[in-house]
Amino acid sequence: MNAEFSVAVHAMVYLAAHCQASFNSSELASNICTNPARVRKVMSKLCKASLVVSTKGQGSGYASIAEARRTDLAVIAKAIDEVPVEDIWQSGDLDRDCLVCSGMGSVMDDICHGMNLVAFDYLKKVTIGSICDRLLQKR
């Protein structure tokens, strides 16, 4: 997973913890410790998936949806087109006579697919609310 997932989860937890407020990208970026452009990029995907709302005009920014605490991390990952394990390069060559060389790419695809299934099952068990509860217990 890349940093967009962390930005998305952090932003959604922060908005859910401050559910009556709206925050612009600079305010969110300050809390997330990243730059506002990265926040806007991620938030646009979350808005498109209806996981957060965007307000326009004076006091514009992003706000939590009523159901935010019930949102699981798998939903967030899918909203930002994120997969836990990406198989971005395949070793071997399909046209070679060696069974290892010609078959390793598809084996690794299967392994990555299996790892993603397990990871998404785990992400479905973690909600924005459970993260809020965990963090706010520390007070």
Distance between alpha carbon 123 and the CA centroid of its chain, in Å?
10
Give 23-67 pLDDT, tens digit per residue. Answer: 999 999 999 999 999 999 999 999 999 999 998 877 789 999 999
Long-range contacts of 14-17 (CB under 8 A, 24+ apart): 15/52, 15/62, 15/63, 15/64, 15/68, 16/64, 16/68, 16/69, 16/128, 16/129, 16/132, 17/132, 17/135, 17/136
Question: Structure tokens of 109?
Answer: 């695809």
Give 98-124 pLDDT, tens digit per residue. Answer: 999 999 999 999 999 999 999 999 999
Task: Output the pTM of the full model.
Answer: 0.88
Which domains, and CATH codes, for the chain? 3-136 (1.10.10.10)
Contact assessment for residue 106 and residue 91, using Cβ atoms and an 8 Å cutoff: no
